[in-house]
Chains A and B, each alone.
Chain A
Amino acid sequence: MKIKIIKKINQQEKKNIIESWKKRYGSMSSLQHKVGLSKCSSPEDVNTYITWKYLASGAEMEETVTFVNADIFDVFSPKRGEILEYLANNEVSSIRELATKLRRNYKNVYDDLKALNKFELVELRVVGRALKPCSSASAVEVILEE
């Protein structure tokens, strides 16, 4: 059994991604220079450069996270599934707001988010002094196959 999390990147998210790279690397040309010097010694930099180059020229982007082992089942629970479903359809500004909306204890929601974040099922963005939980998935597929 495989579980596949699918995320289609929209225009705003593309802009945000590129902005974060500008902060980190300065510009695409400075990253290109860095990658040219280091060749294949940094897979992350090479992949970032390639992604940036094609995103800038208008490419569509999709991200998937797939689990092919049983570890993921330690992470999933009905309550955590509820969090994923809620975040996929609603926006919240903080963990506290999410806990209030779900009528759950803050600490339990925090712990669940941390566990989901470890496997990149949710993002926890720093906004001011709060952590803003965001869904990493637009779809979750369960695939029954070898």
Chain B
Amino acid sequence: MRILKQKVWVHKNEVVESLTVTEGGKVKFYSHTYMVKEGGRGWVPYVKWDNWDRQPHVDKYDSSGALVEQKHCPEKSAEEAIKLVKIFRKNLMTMDISQL
């Protein structure tokens, strides 16, 4: 088994934190969280793709970091999530991410 933790700085105060657990080349768990550093409040999650409970889905959080939306979404690799974040960044909050 292998755990890969990745932090990708997409901008000065924006990162994607990714955790992928693989066994024999198969992904057992993934979580890719787009986080923004809000002045004085530390890192706040905006969007997270993961397969917690073996259900691939995407979560959206409000500006206080509270979960506001959860939708089914096809599995995403870290590279796919990072690509979406690099393109759309904070605009992801107003989009139907599950369709991307």
Cβ B6 vs Cβ A58 within 8 A: no
Question: Between A and B, how many residue pairs show CB distances below 8 Å?
Answer: 85
A79 to B33, CA, bound (A): 33
B85 to chain A, nearest CB (A): 10
Tally of chain B residues near chain A (CB < 8 A): 28
Q: Is B4 engaged at the interface, CB distance under 8 Å to the other chain? A: yes
Cβ A41 vs Cβ B66 within 8 A: yes
Cβ A69 vs Cβ B10 within 8 A: yes
Majority DSSP secondary structure for residues of A touching B: mixed
Q: Is B52 engaged at the interface, CB distance under 8 Å to the other chain? A: yes
The 7 closest A-B pairs by CB, nearest first: A59-B1, A61-B3, A63-B5, A43-B33, A66-B8, A41-B67, A65-B7
Name 19 A/B residue pairs within 8 A (Cβ), A-sorted.
A39-B52, A40-B48, A46-B31, A47-B31, A50-B21, A55-B3, A59-B2, A59-B21, A60-B2, A63-B6, A63-B7, A64-B5, A64-B6, A65-B9, A66-B9, A68-B8, A69-B10, A71-B11, A120-B7
A115 to chain B, nearest CB (A): 13
Could you tell me which B residues sit within 8 Å of A by CB distance? 1-12, 17, 19, 21, 29, 31, 33, 45, 48, 50, 52, 59, 66-67, 70, 82, 86
Q: Which of B9, B19, B70 has the most CB of A within 10 A?
A: B9
Extra inter-chain contacts (6) besides given A47-B17, A66-B8, A68-B9, CB under 8 Å:
A50-B21, A61-B5, A62-B5, A64-B4, A65-B9, A69-B9
